[in-house]
Chains A and B, each alone.
Chain A
Amino acid sequence: MGLIMNKESKIYKLLPLILVFVGVPLLLWALGEFPKRSVFKELLSLIIILTFSLLLGQFFLTRTNKILVKQIKMSSVLKIHKFIGYVFIIIIMAHPFFIILPKFFDNTKTPFEAFTILLTSFNSLGIVLGMVAYMIMLIILITSFFRFKLHLQYRTWRKVHGYLAMLFIITATSHVINIGRYNSTSFSIYYLIVVASGIFYLLRIYLFKSTKKVIKND
């Protein structure tokens, strides 16, 4: 629980990340011209928006983020990474249900009917992308949880985890841009920048890992 003990100093050091992955999406949401809905529905949406951006932030809560690792210990970074990973993947796993949650409170379609329609709209690219991303996410979750039972070498496991994460973030971001209720140009640009730089950092480590000098010579 070291995470909690040194909370304040760590939060201070995490501030840039918090700004980028909580502040910016909040700002884009507030400034965007989205139709306002009831507080309950907006709250559900906000939770999902922030969950997704925090998952994007996971790319920068790893060894690849040299600056952060220098400021706080790698073990702490890993703890935060794990915490966000487990908690927010579970939230995002629930997000298809969030969407039909309001159907519990009106007299229109039953939540089950709405959900059935949602899951069978295969002609929608966004839905298909979402389902693919969902599957990858499940694999990431399971392989992370049973990491030590897999008996993989650390390097191999890290590669598997990294590539799966990359695959996930590409399909998930396409899903969000295609079908998200809050898709706007500014949100799309934000996601694309974050994803591109995340993937860039990841690939740099993986592709050039053995040649540390290349990085040093930079």
Chain B
Amino acid sequence: MTESKRKNSISRRSFIALAGGAAGAAAVASLGLHLDWETNNPKVDIDALGLDTFKTEVLVIGSGMAGLFAAVKAHDAGAKVLMVSKGRLGSSGLTPFAKGIFAYDPAKETLSIDEFVAAVSRSALGTNNPVYTRQMAEHSLARVNELKEWGFFDSTLYNKSFSKPIEERNIPIQERVTITHLVKENNKLVGAAGFSIDKEKVIIYEAKSIILCTGSGGFKPNGFPICDLTHDGTVMAYNIGAKVTGKEWNDGHPGKAKNAAACYDGWGDMFEQKPGTTGIEVHHDLGVDMNYVAYTNGSPLKMGPPGSGEKTEVSGGPFVPEEFSRQNSKPPDNGDRKPPKGGHGDGAPPGMGGSIVGGSSAGMAIHKSEGLVPINDQCESNIPGLYAAGDALGSYMSGGIYTQIGSSLSGSAVQGGVAGEAAANYCKNVEISHISTSKIEEIQEEILAPLKREAGYSPAWVTQTLQGIVIPNFVLYIKKENMLKAALAYVEELRDHHMPMLRAANMHELRLAHETANMIVSAEMKLKASLMRKESRCSHYRLDYPEMDPENWEAWINIFKGDDGTMQFEKQPFNSWSA
């Protein structure tokens, strides 16, 4: 089919749709009702929506790399496990696209683990938590070997290899279920709640312990496959009093200017490659250096193949430690998403040269830097029984900058395993609690509210508006006080007036409505944390505070909900645990 033919057929279709829409609108208008775009006509029979309840000891939310190991290790430690996923095992979140996994093999490496951790800390300018950096290195080979056994390295698709250990252990798994609430009653974690988009049901989970393997998130940006990740875990946990962190950091992945939304095409054929392992290679990657160049010099930003010497000279900008600066203006490469074969992560981003644009992963921080604040090395949060692993845990395994190539995927595997075991042990001394009927009714009401609204705002439109506010380079990446405050005013408007009025016409939109709400909360966190951190370090760059401030800012920022429901912030010194 030629381009013109395809376009013709589309225009014909859209013409019919337009004509139909116009006729419909006219018909509705003639009846004196709301216009079509105002009225919410749910296609779901809300009153007939069923309610299911499931009981388990450990509830694993999410089915990527962290979720896999959380479920497997919790089961192996003796707990009854149930896995629930918004998508499909091995095919949701960032996991399906991660093709490089770091394994610290003492037989192959010349650096000791101590030296490796020290190198990461130097590159991360102190922002990493060395306990988690070390844990990742120590356990990585064991996890990689298990993956090998399950056939992980034999296919580009992970569902089959992930299913192997889950099926062998008969771990039940519920897919295409969106979890919207963590439930706390009488000051105790008692379960979670959400809905199934296929069964059109609200589902309540009663659990002794919950492991959030919900990944990170973004603002459904164009060009990075994270449109199903909207910080759901972070926001749910925040809502019941968990501390979260890492919101000021940015992942600086660029995208191709041509067809910027096409994730697959932007990464060459990497998504179709089998995964492979990586060895020690510590960098200072995925920061906002390029964003600074684009801000200073304007677009287009050209990136030639490696060695083309197309170095763009700018003064100032994010500080890169000499030891880790890449020669020849090497742009941040694709880090752990590096194809195992061909190329060495050098040069242009995947998808070769040509013009690039920023914000392809907008809203996402550096892997493992944002998420729940751990209170120890067991991936435990400040809420007893609530654990998080992988990108949902603000473990600072890598720091505020991406350091070891391939460590994100192995970090998720390692933390999943650690959290799984810890949660299983926690369950041994805890009785299961029931969620009261009144609480269930209250949650059900909250979950289904967008379906019941007669009028409101569509999640797609609110999302698009949010993107317009936060994604610009001068807001999200090259930060300064007045712009952050300006954007915050917009985001607060969305939070106060639009978030409570999100509407949904079907289960697909219901999921979008909840995701949109989470993105708004996350945007508020991001802007406020960025305002608070009055220095520049790693992937956080303030135009008005371009230097590092070792005196005041050898600290992470924790965010939590205050007693009055407002967003509270605190500093937690580097190399300390949260109280």
Of the candidate stretches B155-163, B466-474, B520-528, B565-573, the one touching chain A is: B155-163
- Do the beta carbons of B9 and A33 come within 8 Å of each other? yes
With contacts A33-B1, A34-B1 known, is A107 near B6, CB below 8 A?
no
The residue in chain A whose Cβ has the minimal distance to the Cβ of B156 is A107
Give min CB distance, A28 to chain B, whole Å: 14
- Do the beta carbons of A108 and B1 come within 8 Å of each other? no
- The answer to whether the Cβ of B547 comes within 8 Å of any Cβ in the partner chain is no
- In chain B between 2 and 17, which residues have their CB closer than 8 angstroms to a CB of chain A? 5-6, 9
**How far does the alpha carbon of A191 sit from the alpha carbon of B273 in the complex, in Å?**
41
The residue in chain B whose Cβ has the minimal distance to the Cβ of A110 is B155
- Do the beta carbons of A108 and B9 come within 8 Å of each other? no
Question: Hey, which chain B residues are within 8 Å of A109, CB to CB?
Answer: 155, 157, 160
Question: Hey, which chain B residues are within 8 Å of A107, CB to CB?
Answer: 155-157, 272-274
- In chain B between 231 and 284, which residues have their CB closer than 8 angstroms to a CB of chain A? 272-274
Give min CB distance, A146 to chain B, whole Å: 43
- The answer to whether the Cβ of A35 comes within 8 Å of any Cβ in the partner chain is yes
- Do the beta carbons of B1 and A36 come within 8 Å of each other? yes
**How far does the alpha carbon of A36 sit from the alpha carbon of B272 in the complex, in Å?**
20
Give min CB distance, B102 to chain A, whole Å: 21
The residue in chain B whose Cβ has the minimal distance to the Cβ of A113 is B160
- Do the beta carbons of B157 and A108 come within 8 Å of each other? yes
Inter-chain contact total with CB atoms closer than 8 Å? 24
**How far does the alpha carbon of A128 sit from the alpha carbon of B5 in the complex, in Å?**
34
Question: Hey, which chain A residues are within 8 Å of B6, CB to CB?
Answer: 33
- Do the beta carbons of A108 and B5 come within 8 Å of each other? no
Question: Hey, which chain B residues are within 8 Å of A106, CB to CB?
Answer: 156, 272
**How far does the alpha carbon of A35 sit from the alpha carbon of B9 in the complex, in Å?**
13
The residue in chain B whose Cβ has the minimal distance to the Cβ of A109 is B157
Give min CB distance, A31 to chain B, whole Å: 10
SS class, residues of chain A in contact with chain B: loop
**How far does the alpha carbon of A188 sit from the alpha carbon of B172 in the complex, in Å?**
45
The count of residues in chain B whose C-beta lies closer than 8 Å to any C-beta of chain A is 11
Interface centre among A34, A35, A106, A107 (most CB of B within 10 A): A107
**How far does the alpha carbon of A108 sit from the alpha carbon of B161 in the complex, in Å?**
12
**How far does the alpha carbon of A35 sit from the alpha carbon of B155 in the complex, in Å?**
26
- In chain B between 152 and 172, which residues have their CB closer than 8 angstroms to a CB of chain A? 155-157, 160
The residue in chain B whose Cβ has the minimal distance to the Cβ of A32 is B1
Interface membership of chain B positions 271-303, coded 1 if the CB is closer than 8 angstroms to chain A and 0 otherwise:
011100000000000000000000000000000
**How far does the alpha carbon of A113 sit from the alpha carbon of B274 in the complex, in Å?**
17
Give min CB distance, A46 to chain B, whole Å: 15
**How far does the alpha carbon of A36 sit from the alpha carbon of B6 in the complex, in Å?**
11
Give min CB distance, B561 to chain A, whole Å: 44
Interface membership of chain A positions 81-108, coded 1 if the CB is closer than 8 angstroms to chain B and 0 otherwise:
0000000000000000000000000111
- In chain A between 34 and 84, which residues have their CB closer than 8 angstroms to a CB of chain B? 34-36
**How far does the alpha carbon of A106 sit from the alpha carbon of B271 in the complex, in Å?**
11
**How far does the alpha carbon of A109 sit from the alpha carbon of B1 in the complex, in Å?**
27
Give min CB distance, B575 to chain A, whole Å: 42
Question: Hey, which chain A residues are within 8 Å of B5, CB to CB?
Answer: 33
The residue in chain B whose Cβ has the minimal distance to the Cβ of A36 is B1
Interface membership of chain B positions 178-190, coded 1 if the CB is closer than 8 angstroms to chain A and 0 otherwise:
0000000000000
- In chain B between 84 and 107, which residues have their CB closer than 8 angstroms to a CB of chain A? none
**How far does the alpha carbon of A129 sit from the alpha carbon of B486 in the complex, in Å?**
63
Give min CB distance, A109 to chain B, whole Å: 7
**How far does the alpha carbon of A108 sit from the alpha carbon of B156 in the complex, in Å?**
5
**How far does the alpha carbon of A24 sit from the alpha carbon of B187 in the complex, in Å?**
74
**How far does the alpha carbon of A92 sit from the alpha carbon of B98 in the complex, in Å?**
40
- In chain A between 86 and 144, which residues have their CB closer than 8 angstroms to a CB of chain B? 106-110, 113
Question: Hey, which chain A residues are within 8 Å of B157, CB to CB?
Answer: 107-109
- Do the beta carbons of B272 and A108 come within 8 Å of each other? yes
Interface membership of chain B positions 138-163, coded 1 if the CB is closer than 8 angstroms to chain A and 0 otherwise:
00000000000000000111001000
**How far does the alpha carbon of A87 sit from the alpha carbon of B244 in the complex, in Å?**
68
- Do the beta carbons of B1 and A35 come within 8 Å of each other? yes
Question: Hey, which chain A residues are within 8 Å of B1, CB to CB?
Answer: 33-36
The residue in chain A whose Cβ has the minimal distance to the Cβ of B8 is A33
Question: Hey, which chain B residues are within 8 Å of A36, CB to CB?
Answer: 1
> Interface residues, chain B, CB within 8 Å of chain A?
1, 5-6, 9, 155-157, 160, 272-274
> Interface residues, chain A, CB within 8 Å of chain B?
33-36, 106-110, 113
**Closest 6 pairs (CB-CB, A-B):** A107-B156, A33-B1, A107-B274, A108-B157, A108-B156, A33-B5
A to B CB contacts below 8 Å, 20 in the list? A33-B5, A33-B6, A33-B9, A34-B1, A35-B1, A36-B1, A106-B156, A106-B272, A107-B155, A107-B156, A107-B157, A107-B272, A107-B273, A108-B155, A108-B157, A108-B272, A109-B155, A109-B157, A109-B160, A110-B155
